Amino acid sequence: MPLDTLSTYSQTLLRQDGRRWNELRRITASISTQPASDGSSLLTLGNTMVLCTVTGPREGRGQRDNKNALVETDIHVASFATMDRRRRVRADKRIQELQSTISSAFQSHLFTHLYPRSTISISLHVLSLDGGLLVACLNATSLALVDAGVPMPSILSAVTCGVIVPTEDSKAKPEPLLDLNTAEEQELAYLSIATVSGGEGAEDKVSVLMMESRVEIATGSGKIEAMLATGVDGCREVRRKMEDVVRKHGAKVMMGLR
Amino acid sequence: MPREIDISNIERNFILEALQQGVRVDGRSLDQFRSLELEFGDEYGTVTTRLGKTRVHVQISAEVTKPLEDRQFDGIFTITTELSPIASAAYEVGRQTEQEVILSRTLEKAVRRSRAIDTESLCIISGAKCWSIRADVHVLDSDGGLIDCSCVAIVAALRHFRRPDVSVDGENVTIYTMAERVPVPLSIMHNPVCITFSFYHGGDTIVLDATRSEEQVRETSATFTVNDFELCQVSKMGGSPIDAVVLLKCINTALAKGKEINGIVAKKLAEDSTKRDVGGLIAELRAENER
């Protein structure tokens, strides 16, 4: 790449795309974008674009649970989502892991006991990918489930967070970066974190935490703590933006009814 | 389709009540691992790991192949896991369950993506020939702690494995048999260890190395992969939400436990090396001697 984050960040404190360390990429979202489904959303997180549709709660085929609804997830990453077009195999273990993560996160987050013996099907289509795949899918799914009217205690929001370590001074204070794009993801250590609101006055709780990079922890440099703290704050910001989207859509619906 | 035998309500409530009082059914403390045993086979790269009643067998093999197009300077390292009915009646041959995907992906992230092996050292001729290392993980008995046991087994097997020596003369590559030349160990960069925490009662009770019964009862789990000074991988795939501060404490506990387990593995490897040194003659055969 022509520019890398490490070389210029220490002088200007600006990232490759001009953001500062705690700034999110532009987030735009719409709900009720697919009238044929029970709930749908289209989320844009920077250059990452995800379309999510929710069907259900409906009668499940095959296995059923007599006490809770079952949440199942299907993710399709379009071949044109990345710069190089490639054919995606359906049995990709990486995608299956994301599907398991999203199903498990919402299985325990939603009030599934209100819909016994039913199934909630989540279908995600990734139209454009520029970092934060799991994070964008989780956010889009939250909005689609709100549109479907599935009860949940709060909106589950997700964000990625990385850390810069100046190579010349390993004892320097860690520099967390919020909401990485693809170039930053390939370069830095980062984690994806999803939180739910802890209720009145309580702190946010971590629902999903995924990290694939190696981060030094033995010397007490506080890199993990910095990433977690910045990630939790970023999730709160993302939740606020998503709640705004829901409120605007609600106001529009109320106006239409009147 | 076959399913895990469900735990009864009485047993479930008993386990949860005992954990609330800080007692485990098998008598361990909440942060105690089951006894870890390693048995190395006669061949290099063969290890059977036992973690309580969980048993995992790993076999490492190597062959010369062509490197990938986009990584011509790297060798190939793959991990193959398969859950078969020999481990538990809940598993079915061929059909990939969610647990198998999670196990496979977690081991992949813990060992391969964290670069435990230096794959650049597996390159023989760039773009043409390289070593392909394959780790076959066979789960023989499943009683919880599958990820932890498998990760220890893979790392021990990689450290135990020796590949044949090669010499390169222009485009010609000569591979020597074990009888001709001493085999070469792999270049291990670090030793990752997976530590799985199980959470109960909304995160108030944290249990290390859950058995199968405890795994069925838990609300959520988080797997941390550590070496002696780094955190290599974190997997908390949904489940009940946990405070971030609690997760940080788990990371510190995982660091301490990881050092313990790496010590056990190193000790077992040294024992196996001593056992192969029949009569202690390796000291006599050493060419480099101090003056």
Helices (H), chain A: 5-12, 93-109, 133-148, 182-187, 223-257
Sole residue written with tokens 């838990």: B218
With 0-12 / 13-18 / 19 or more C-beta atoms within 10 angstroms meaning exposed / middle / buried, residue B165 is: middle
Interchain proximity B239–A196, CB inside 8 Å: no
Contact check, Cβ <8 Å, A217/B237: no
What is the arithmetic mean of pLDDT over B100-129? 89
Would you state the pLDDT for residue A66? Answer: 83
Would you say B16 and B10 are in contact if contact means Cβ atoms under 8 Å apart? no
Domain residue ranges of chain B, discontinuous segments joined by +: 21-285
Q: Which residues of A touch B (CB under 8 A)?
A: 91, 93-94, 96-97, 100-109, 191, 195-196, 198, 203-219, 224-225, 228-229, 232
Average pLDDT of the segment spanning A63-84: 85
Flag whether pLDDT at A86 surpasses 70: no
Helices then strands, each counted (H, E), chain A: 5, 10
Task: List, for residues B191-202, the tens digit of each pLDDT value.
Answer: 999 999 999 988
Nearest CA in chain A to B192: A214
Q: For residue B140, what is the enclosing H or E element?
A: strand B129-141
Inter-chain residue contact B234 with A216, CB threshold 8 Å: no
The neighbouring-strand residues paired with B172 are B169
Contacts of B224 (CB under 8 A, 6+ apart): B194, B195, B196, B197, B231, B233, B234, B250, B251, B254
CB A150 within 8 A of CB A110: yes
Higher pLDDT, B201 or B256: B256
Q: Which of A101, A207, A216 sits opposite B241 (nearest CB)?
A: A207
Task: Give the one of A91, A211, A225 whose C-beta lies nearest to B248's C-beta.
Answer: A225
Which residues in chain B touch residue A207, judged by CB atoms under 8 angstroms apart?
A: 236, 238-241
Query: Nearest CB to A105: which of B108, B238, B247?
Result: B238
With an 8 Å Cβ cutoff, are B241 and A210 in contact? Answer: no
What's chain A's Rg over C-alpha atoms? 19
Token duo for residue A237: 């910001």
| Domain ranges for chain A | 5-255
A200 pLDDT exceeds 80?
no
User: What 3-state class would DSSP assign to B97?
Assistant: coil
Vertex A174: Cα angle to A172 and A176 (nearest 5): 155
Kindly report the CATH class assigned to A5-255: alpha beta
**Listed range (A171-185, A237-251, B150-164, B205-219) with the worst mean pLDDT:** A171-185
**What's the full length of chain B, in residues?**
291
- Interface residues on B facing A, Cβ-Cβ cutoff 8 A: 96, 98, 101-102, 104-105, 108-109, 113-115, 203, 219-220, 222, 226, 228-244, 247-248, 251-252, 255
Nearest-CB residue to B98 (from A100, A207, A225): A100
Q: What was the pLDDT predicted at B17?
A: 85
Q: Does pLDDT of A13 surpass 90?
A: no
Residue of A nearest to B228 (CA): A218
Q: Per the CB < 8 Å rule, is B105 touching A94?
A: yes
Task: Please tell me the distance in Å from B8's CA to the nearest CA on chain A.
Answer: 15
Q: Could you check whether the bond before residue A151 is cis, i.e. omega within 30 degrees of 0?
A: no
Which amino acid belongs to residue B185?
Answer: P
Q: What percent of the residues of chain B are helix, what percent strand, and what percent coil, each to the nearest 5?
A: 30, 30, 40
Angle at B154 between CA B148 and CA B157, to 5 degrees: 135
Asked if A183 and A16 touch (Cβ cutoff 8 Å), the reply is yes
Which one of B109, B229, B231 has the shortest CB-CB distance to A224? B231
- Position A187 scores a pLDDT of 79
For residue range B32-77, list pLDDT tens digits in order. Answer: 889 998 989 988 999 999 899 898 999 899 989 889 888 789 999 9
Highest mean pLDDT among A137-146, B9-18, B57-66, B113-122: A137-146
Buried/exposed B78-104: b ≥16 CB within 10 Å, e otherwise: ebebbbeeebbebbeeeeeeebbbbbb
The answer on pLDDT for A219 being more than 80 is no
Topology of the domain covering B21-285: Ribosomal Protein S5; domain 2 (3.30.230)
